[in-house]
Amino acid sequence: MPDHEPVLTAPFDQGVFLLHYNRGREAFQEGRYAEARRELEAAQRMRPEDADVLNLLGLVYFKTNSFPEAEVIYRRLIKENSTTCSAPSSCVQTMPSRISISACSTASGASSVWLSSI
C-alpha cells in the first residue's frame, strides 16, 4: 500500500475554458478590463501555457497600468516563443514612456504583441 494518497485533479473542460477565454476577449474588446482580467485569469488557471490567453491577459494588464504583471507575461512569451518573429521587417516597435511594445506578424498572418520595460 502506498505511503501517500494519490492526488486527484478534475478533468480539463475545453468548453469551460473557451467560455472564460471568449468572455475575456469580448470584455477586452469592449473596454471592460476588470471583467476581462477576471475571465482571462480563470482561463489561464485552466491552461497556463496557452499563448493566446497569456497575450490577451498581458494586454489587459498593460491597459490597466499593471505593468509589472504585463512584463512578467511578455518576458515569458518572448522566452517561450523566441522564433515568433521570423523576419525582422515584419516587426514593429513603439516606445511609450517606460514600456516598449513590440508587435510581430508570423508567416501564417497571426499577430503577437509583447512588452518589455526600457
Q: What is the pLDDT of residues 62-101, one digit of tens each?
A: 999 999 999 999 998 888 876 644 434 334 333 333 455 5
Q: What is the pLDDT of residues 34-55, one digit of tens each?
A: 999 999 999 999 999 999 999 9
| Threshold 0.75, pTM exceeds | no
Give the number of other CB atoms < 10 A from CB of residue 42: 17
In whole angstroms, what is the distance from residue 70 CA to residue 58 CA? 5
- Domain contains 112: yes
* DSSP symbols for 42-108: HHHHH-TT-HHHHHHHHHHHHHTT-HHHHHHHHHHHHHHTTTS--SGGGEEEE--TTEEEEEEE-TT
Residue 105 has pLDDT above 70, yes or no: no
Give the residue with greater pLDDT, 33 vs 116: 33
- Domain contains 51: yes
- Domain contains 9: no
- Domain contains 3: no
Count of structural domains within the chain: 1
Strand pairing partners for 92?
A: 103
- Provide the residue range defining the domain that includes 50: 14-117
Q: Which grid coordinates are listed for 114?
A: 509583447
Instruction: Assign residue 33 the CATH number of its domain.
Output: 1.25.40.10
- Domain contains 7: no
